[in-house]
Structure 1
C-alpha cells in the first residue's frame, strides 16, 4: 500500500507539472485568439493593402517593379541596368523559362498566395468576430474579397491556370493543389467582386474621399476590367455588356471626373497627376507615407543611369528602369498630343542652378509622371501614392464595352472623346466627336485600343491588352500618332525576336513545381 501511495503521488505530481508547464504564447496568437476584438478583424484586412499584388507597383532602382515585366517582354520598354537584371534580358530575348527565372517568379507566386491565404483567413473569421456591427462585417469582408480577387487576377493573367484555394489553412492536409482552369478562377474573381459591389455596403467614392480604403467604385472598376479581359483571349466569353454595366456604375454615380488642365502646361492635368494624391479621378491608389512606408525609388527611375554622376540627387543612383523605346513614343502625335510634350508623361531635359550658373542637361526620354522634386533634391524619400486605376480608364473600358455590345453609340463616342480631348488640348472636342462618328465597330474599338496605349502607357496595361486582343501595336516614325495592329503570334519585336503563343503566359517556377508535384508547366516551356 505504501508503494502504491508513493506511485499515485508521483503521478499526481507529474500531472500538476504538465498543467504548470502549459503556456499561452504572448508573442503570437492562434486564429481562435486573434479574431477576438474588432481591431483584430480590421488588422486582418489592413494587411492586405500591403501584401501580394499591390506591392508589385512599387519599384526598385535596378530591376524596376514586377508590374513592368510585360512592358519588357513587349520590347516597348528597356532598362539601363539590364546587364545585371536577368529578368529584363530574358524577357527581351524571349529566353525566359521556369529555371532561369525561377527565383523571380517565386517572388510573385509566393507573395500572391500569401495575400490570398490572409484574405481567406479574414473572410472565414470576420463574421465571427465579437462586437462588429453588421455594416462593419460586410465592409471588411468586401475589402478582403476585393484583395483576394486582385491577387488572383494578377496570377491568372500571368500564369494562366493556377490553384484556386478559398479555404483558410488550418492543417497540413491538401497542400499539393492542382491547377484550376482559367475560366473557373475568373468565375471566383467575379463572385468576389460582385459581393464587394452589391453586398459590401461600400460608398461609391474616389479612393481619396473614402479614407484611401477600397470603395464600391474600386471593386466595380476591377470588375469591369475583368469582364473586358474575359471577353478576349484566352477565355473568349463575351462579357462586354457586363463590362459596360460595371463601368456605368462608376460613371453614373457622378462622383468622378477627369482632372482638368490649369492655366499653363506646368499646371496640366498630367502634372497634377504627378504631384497630387487627392483627385476625383483616382479610383484605386496604393498609399505611401515616407515616415512609415515610402515609395522608394520611383523618382530615381525618371533619369538615366548616367545622371548619377551629376551629383545633384538625394538618391545615390538613378536608372531609367522603364525607358520607353522610340516605337512606344511614336504612338503619340507630337503636334496635337499634350502627353508627349516635354515634362508631361515624359521628359528629356533638366535645368538647375550650379552655384550662380544655370546648367541644362539633356538625356534619353524617360518617364516624368513619377518625378518628385522634393524626393529627388531635398529628402530622398518619396511620399507619392501609386495610382493603379483612374477614371480615364473606366471611360475607355465603357467606350469599348458599349461599342462591342450595343454599337458605336453617342455614349461610347463621348467617353472616348472625353479622354482624347483632354490630351488634344488645342483641338475642339466637337472635332474629335466628328472624327469618331460613323466608324464601324472594329474601327472604333481600335481607336479605343490606341487611346489606351497613349493614356495608360505608364500604368502597365500594354501587355495585358496584347494578351486579351492577340494584337500587337505597330508604329512608324514617319507617321507619329498612327497605330496599326499586327497578330501578336509571329510578330517580331524591336529586339528581332519572334513572339510565339507560349509567350502570352509566363512560365511557372520549377522551384514551385518541385514543392508541389501536382503543378504542370505552361505549354512551350
Structure 2
C-alpha cells in the first residue's frame, strides 16, 4: 500500500500559544511557541493538508473533474452537463465555491506560518528556511490557480486574525502575478533539491512552477530559461521520464522519477482520490478500473484532437477505451452515445477499498511538463530549433515505447516545421500528454485557442449547443466571498 503522508488538521492549533491568547495585549496575536523541528514539520504538513483533503473537493474532484470536462474533447454527459456548457459554468457564481474555500484555507495557513516563523527565535535558520520555502510554494501555487480561474481576487498576504481583516479589495491580475513570482523565487532558493517525503515541495518544483507561470504570462525567454535549469540539473533533482505509463500513474507507488510535484492520495478510506471512480462506469470493479463507477462524463472520439490521435501512441490506449474484458469476454463500456463514446481510463485503482480510497495521485507537475514548456518557449523565442525538437521528441518517444534519447522516425515530429506549425504541435502534444490532468482548459485560454478548439468540436458533434463558445474565460466570484468581503467587487 502506498506510503501516506497523514496530514494533520490541527495546524492552526499548533501555531497558537495558549499563553498568548490569554494575554490582553495584543488580543489577536498568534505565535508558533517553543516548537522543535518535529512539531514544526507537522505544522508545515498542515499547510498542505487542504489541497489533498479527500473530501476537500479541490484538484482531485471539482478542479480535476470539472476543469477536465471543460476540455473541448470531453463532455459531462447527463450528470455533469453544466461543466460542459461553458456559459452556464462561467456565469454561475458558485461553480468553484468549494475550491475557493479550500484554496484560501491553505493560503491562510501558509500566511500564519510565515508570520510566526518571522517571530520565532528558537528554531535554527536552516530549519526555518525550509519551512518558509514550503509555505511560500503553497501560497504561490494557490494564487496561481486562483488568478487563472477567477482573475482578480483578494491578495491576502497576512493572517486574518479578526473580522476587520476580512474586507480586502480585489487585486489587479498583474499584481497577483508579481506576488506569485516573488513567492516562487523565494521558494526555489529556500527549498531542498530533493525530499524523502513524497508530496513535499522542492527547489525543482518551484523552478518548474516558475517556468509554467512565465509561459502563461507569455514571458517565453524566462520560461525557457527556467525550464532549462530543471532539464540541465535533472540528475540533481532526481527527475527523468519514466519509461512506463503504468509506473507514472500507479495507485500503489509513493512516487517515481517523473514526479516533480503531485497531490498524494492513498488506498485508505477517506485518504484517497475520487478520479478513478468518477470516470469509470457501473462495471468498474468487474472491468478492473475502480471499486465503483460514477460515469461522470467521457471523451468525444470525433473531437479533432482525439480523432487524429495515432493508434500507435501508447497514451491513447492507456487513457481512453470503449470496451474491457470481464471474465475473458470483451464487453462494451457504458457510454452516452450521442454525447460521448469513450471512457477516460488514465486513473485506475481496482484495489481501492472504497471510492474515497483510490490511490491515484494528482500531478501538478511532471518532468514531461518541463520538456514541453521548454519546447514551446524555445520555439516562441527562437523558432523550431534542434533543442525544441529534442525536448518534445523525448516525450513523444516515450509515448511510442522507444528509447527517449534515440531519434525515431515514427515518434519524432517531422523536420522543417515553421514556428507556427511547431507551436500547433506542442499544443497538440500537451493535449495528449496531459489528458485527464485538468490542464487543457488553461492551455486553451493562455494560447487564445478557446473559440478555435470549441468550434472544431461543435462542427462534428450532434448537439453543439452543449459546448457553446464562452462569452468570457474567467469564473464569477463565489457568494462566500461576496457575502463576507464588502470590497470584493
Q: TM-score, normalised by structure 1?
A: 0.76
Q: Evaluate the alpha carbon distance shift between residue 210 and residue 110 of structure 1 in structure 2; reply closer, same or farther with a 3 A threshold.
A: closer
Give the drift of 1:158.
0.4
Cα distance in 2, alignment partners of residues 319 and 454 from structure 1: 24
Show the counterpart of 1:460. Answer: 438
Q: Distance in 2 between matches of 1:192 and 1:335?
A: 42
Partner of 1:266: none
Give the gaps of 5 or more residues in structure 2.
Answer: 1-19, 336-341
Aligned-pair CA distance for 1:459: 0.9
Partner in structure 1 of residue 407 of structure 2: 429
Alignment CA distance shift 1:350-1:402 (3 Å):
same
CA deviation profile, 1:11-65 (whole Å, cap 9, x unmatched): xxxxxxxxxxx9969xxx9854543213443233211222148855554xxxx43
Match of 2:324 among 350, 357, 361: 350
SS at match of 2:426: helix
| Contact 1:314–1:380 (8 Å) recurs in 2 | no
Q: Which residue of 1 aligns with 2:9?
A: none
- Aligned 1:371-520 pairs, distance under 5 A: 371-375=348-352, 381-425=357-401, 429-431=407-409, 435-472=413-450, 495-496=464-465, 497-502=467-472, 504-520=473-489
Equivalent residue number for residue 10 of structure 1: none
| Of 359, 362, 375, the match for 2:332 | 362
Given that 2:187 and 2:203 are in contact with CA atoms closer than 8 Å, whether structure 1 keeps it comes out as: yes
CA shift in 2, pair 1:67/1:374, >3 Å? closer
Partners of 1:491 and 1:498 within 8 A in 2: no
Q: 1:158 to 1:313 in 2, by over 3 A?
A: closer
On the 8 A contact 2:169/2:488 being kept in 1, the answer is: yes
Kindly indicate whether the alpha-carbon contact (under 8 Å) linking 2:198 and 2:255 is maintained by their aligned counterparts in 1: no
Distance 1:145 1:443, change over 3 A: same
**What does the per-residue CA deviation read over 1:215-270, in whole Å, with 9 as the maximum and x for residues that have no partner?**
11111111111100011xxxxxxx1111112111211113221111xxxxxxxx11
1:486, 1:311 → 2: CA distance?
A: 32
Alpha-carbon distance in 2 for matches of 1:314, 1:225: 32
Compare 46-55 and 393-402 and name the one that shifted more. Answer: 46-55
The residue matched to 1:374 in structure 2 has which SS? coil
**Are the aligned partners of 1:80 and 1:319 in contact in 2 as well (CA < 8 Å)?**
no
1:243–1:56: structure 2 CA closer, same or farther, 3 Å change rule? farther
Q: Which residue of 1 aligns with 2:296?
A: 321
Identify the residue that residue 42 of structure 1 maps to in structure 2.
41
3-state DSSP of counterpart to 1:65 = helix
Distance 1:178 1:33, change over 3 A: closer
Partner of 1:295: 272
Alignment of 1:21-36 (within 5 A): 32=30, 34-36=32-34
Q: Is the 1:197–1:219 contact (alpha carbons within 8 Å) kept by the matching residues of 2?
A: yes
Bigger radius of gyration among the two: 1
SS at match of 1:339: helix
Partners of 1:492 and 1:313 lie apart in 2 by: 29
Q: Does 1:225 align with 2:200?
A: no
TM-superposition CA deviations, 1:86-135 (whole Å, max 9, x none): xx42642622365x553x43222222112111111111112433432211
| CA-atom RMSD in angstroms | 3.4
Alpha-carbon contact 2:228-2:374 (below 8 Å) kept: yes
1:23/1:135 CA distance change after superposition, 3 Å: closer
Choose 222-231 or 40-49, whichever is displaced more. 40-49
Tell me whether 1:340 sits opposite 2:310 in the alignment: no
Q: What is the deviation of 1:291?
A: 4.1
Q: Residue 108 in 1 paired to residue 99 in 2? A: yes
The structure with higher relative contact order (CA 8 Å, sep 6+) is 2
SS in structure 1 at match of 2:168? coil
1:113/1:258 CA distance change after superposition, 3 Å:
same
81, 87, 96: which one aligns with 1:94: 87
Where does the alignment leave 5 or more consecutive residues of structure 1 unmatched?
Answer: 1-21, 232-238, 261-268, 475-484, 521-525
Shift of 1:167: 1.2
Does residue 144 in structure 1 map to residue 135 in structure 2?
Answer: yes
